């Protein structure tokens, strides 16, 4: 049942949000990450992506969880360069389960990506490149494992 809802409901909701963003020219920072992940998801953690040289906020990686289903969701929402296609990435790596990643030239958001996270730990994170191609990692990215760790 969850797979059917995810296959039909989430892509439709994401498409509606992105169409609204494109149509109004609104910035993605006004979109709640829970709206991108779908009903029942609540924010568990978030981590900023900042330009290492200037400290400018480029975006934020969000980790969300649905307590009813046990699934986690991650999205990277751009703050800078919104509307401009830049390489944007988000990933979710639940313990003992397949790694999920969304990466590519994005205007507003990378993701959502999903994974079953109930009663386990998850490595999650994201990155953004500026128009100059320089890649910026989220603030708490651990170089040894590539992301932040959250245990449920």
Q: What is the pLDDT of residues 81-127, one digit of tens each?
A: 999 999 999 999 998 889 999 999 999 999 999 999 988 899 999 99
In the predicted structure, residue 28 carries a pLDDT above the cut 90: no
Q: Mark out the alpha helices in the chain (DSSP H runs).
A: 2-24, 33-37
| Residue in this structure with the two tokens 């990378």, named with its chain if needed | 110
Q: Quick check: pTM over 0.85?
A: no
In the predicted structure, residue 13 carries a pLDDT above the cut 60: no
| Residue in this structure with the two tokens 């910026």, named with its chain if needed | 136
In the predicted structure, residue 2 carries a pLDDT above the cut 90: no
- CA 54, 56, 61, 62 torsion-angle sign: positive
Q: What is the DSSP letter of 50?
A: E
In the chain, where do the E strands start and end? 41-50, 57-66, 71-78, 86-94, 100-106, 109-116, 121-129, 135-137, 148-151
Instruction: Give the mean model confidence (pLDDT) for residues 52-78.
Output: 95
């Amino acid at each position: 049942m969850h797979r059917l809802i995810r296959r039909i409901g989430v892509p439709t909701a994401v498409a509606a949000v992105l169409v609204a963003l494109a149509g109004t020219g609104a910035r993605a920072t006004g979109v709640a990450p829970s709206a991108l992940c779908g009903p029942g998801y609540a924010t568990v953690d978030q981590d900023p992506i900042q330009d290492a040289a200037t400290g400018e906020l480029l975006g934020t990686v969000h980790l969300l969880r649905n307590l009813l289903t046990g699934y986690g969701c991650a999205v990277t929402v751009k703050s800078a360069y919104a509307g401009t296609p830049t390489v944007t990435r988000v990933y979710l790596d639940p313990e003992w389960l397949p790694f999920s990643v969304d990466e590519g030239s994005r205007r507003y958001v990378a993701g959502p990506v999903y994974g079953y996270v109930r009663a386990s730990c998850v490595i999650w994170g994201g990155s953004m490149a500026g128009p100059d191609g320089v890649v910026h990692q989220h603030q708490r990215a651990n170089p040894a494992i590539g992301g932040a760790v959250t245990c449920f």
